[in-house]
């Protein structure tokens, strides 16, 4: 796979995620030059010696000043927590960087607002969040295959440059991740439920077990595989997760309230010895859990091509890709063919997932004229 036109990439924050992005980029057939910026010289030294990055620099070094300035690298990846992303966006703005910028922060609204305020060309900022990680941290835990089959959310805004979005989308796809397009607010609400609440719940389970473990920790020695699997994420960095909780406080609080209500409902079933109610409650969750795919493999023999003519109107790429996500469709590839100054054609390659009829109907309702056909027929349509 190729690097989507980015010949040089700077990773700011060479830790688990940033290091894994760098390692995944380095394994591409047409790998870009990858440089790293980090406050930890030991991490940079390790990353260089283990071929994770080509070169590294401390924030005040000449390398960072050159890479993150106007005319520097093609793409900057801010692999930092959300509260630090704003500081780096300020650095990029101060140094006049006008290339493409993406990030990996687990909350998006605040980072998008900072990008709009601080970057010289905020339209080239494409918010991102890979739904992958580990209870381990640091560049020594980085893996080139960390994103294989993982969901990677992109949050284009109405003013996002279509070319920048398409290029970042293609790059993420080349890392073997599945790209989903959502708006920043919807992203923050969703990850509160599927990521942030589970982390707090895992921490609560560990805290509960610790409170009942006895003076010598007898209960903890009895912890079986199920408990360890369920609570694995609770071993993550407390400092990092405190920041995440604060960045997404409102959505997290609402999610915890909903979880408390559901646990309270099950508690009532247990106290009343309602076996059938408990069975139904547990089975409903089991059915949903069993439906989650263990691993995603693209059905390349069943790809479809969606062609959507566009006029010069802001936000169309974000609107169309978000419609695909809402219909449950997965975008395998994206291309934009500019036919004139005011018109273009958006071409999406879709896997065999989702409701194509609903997607087409949604786009027609929004005023588009979409055309959908099996990809294998595209070459014969002359």
Tell me the per-residue pLDDT of 238-281, one tens digit each, with 9 for 90 and over.
888 898 898 889 999 999 999 999 999 999 999 999 999 999 99
Q: Is residue 2 part of a domain?
A: no
Cβ atoms within 10 Å of 141's Cβ, excluding its own: 16
Number of domains in the chain: 3
- Examine the domain organization and report whether 355 and 316 are in the same domain: yes
- Examine the domain organization and report whether 27 and 140 are in the same domain: yes
- Examine the domain organization and report whether 116 and 224 are in the same domain: no
- Examine the domain organization and report whether 13 and 137 are in the same domain: yes
Separation between Cα atoms, residue 203 and residue 240, nearest integer Å: 14
- Name the residue range of residue 55's domain: 8-182
Locate 81 and state its tokens: 């927590």
Q: Which of 130, 156, 182 is the last residue of a domain?
A: 182
- Examine the domain organization and report whether 168 and 201 are in the same domain: no
Q: Is residue 359 part of a domain?
A: yes
- Examine the domain organization and report whether 69 and 167 are in the same domain: yes
Distances (CA, A) of 79 to 12, 15, 198, 242, 280: 6, 8, 22, 17, 42
Q: Which of 153, 182, 211 is the last residue of a domain?
A: 182
Burial 310-330 (b: 16+ CB within 10 A, else e): beeeeebbbbbbbbbbbbebb
Instruction: Name the pLDDT band for 381 (thresholds 50, 70, 90).
Output: very low
Q: Is residue 341 part of a domain?
A: yes
Tell me the per-residue pLDDT of 319-375, one tens digit each, with 9 for 90 and over.
888 888 888 887 877 878 777 777 888 888 887 778 888 999 999 999 899 998 887
- Examine the domain organization and report whether 318 and 240 are in the same domain: no
Separation between Cα atoms, residue 125 and residue 350, nearest integer Å: 24
- Examine the domain organization and report whether 33 and 93 are in the same domain: yes
């Amino acid at each position: 796979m190729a690097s989507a036109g980015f010949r040089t990439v700077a990773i700011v924050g060479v830790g688990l995620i940033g290091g894994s992005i760098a390692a995944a980029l380095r394994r591409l057939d047409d790998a870009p030059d990858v440089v790293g910026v980090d406050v930890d010289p030991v991490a940079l030294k390790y990353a260089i010696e283990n071929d994770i990055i080509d070169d590294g620099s401390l924030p005040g070094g000449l390398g960072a000043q050159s890479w993150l300035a106007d005319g520097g690298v093609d793409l900057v990846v801010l692999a930092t927590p959300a509260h630090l992303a704003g500081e780096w966006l300020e650095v990029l703005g101060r140094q006049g960087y006008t290339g493409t910028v993406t990030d990996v922060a687990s909350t998006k609204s605040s980072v998008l607002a900072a990008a709009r305020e601080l970057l010289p060309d905020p339209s080239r900022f494409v918010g991102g969040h890979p739904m992958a990680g580990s209870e381990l941290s640091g560049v020594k835990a980085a893996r080139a295959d960390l994103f294989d089959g993982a969901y990677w959310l992109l949050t284009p805004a109405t003013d996002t440059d279509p070319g920048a979005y398409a290029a970042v989308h293609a790059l993420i796809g080349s890392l073997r991740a599945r790209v989903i397009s959502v708006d920043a607010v919807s992203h923050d609400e969703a990850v509160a439920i599927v990521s942030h609440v589970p982390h707090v719940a895992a921490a609560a389970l560990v805290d509960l077990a610790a409170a009942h473990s006895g003076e010598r920790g007898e209960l903890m020695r009895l912890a079986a595989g199920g408990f360890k699997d369920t609570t694995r994420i609770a071993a993550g960095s407390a400092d990092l997760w405190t920041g995440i909780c604060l960045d997404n406080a409102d959505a997290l609080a609402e999610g915890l309230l909903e979880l408390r209500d559901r646990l309270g409902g099950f508690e009532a079933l247990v106290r009343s010895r309602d076996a059938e109610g408990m069975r139904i409650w547990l089975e409903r969750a089991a059915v949903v859990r069993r439906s989650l795919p263990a691993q995603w493999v693209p059905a390349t023999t069943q790809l479809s091509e969606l062609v959507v003519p566009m006029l010069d109107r802001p936000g169309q790429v974000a609107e169309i890709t978000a419609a695909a996500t809402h219909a449950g469709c997965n975008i395998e590839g994206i291309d934009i063919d500019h036919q004139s100054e005011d018109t273009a054609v958006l071409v999406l390659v879709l896997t065999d997932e989702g409701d194509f009829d609903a997607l087409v109907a949604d786009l027609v309702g929004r005023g588009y004229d979409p055309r959908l056909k099996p990809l294998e027929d595209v070459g014969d349509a002359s």
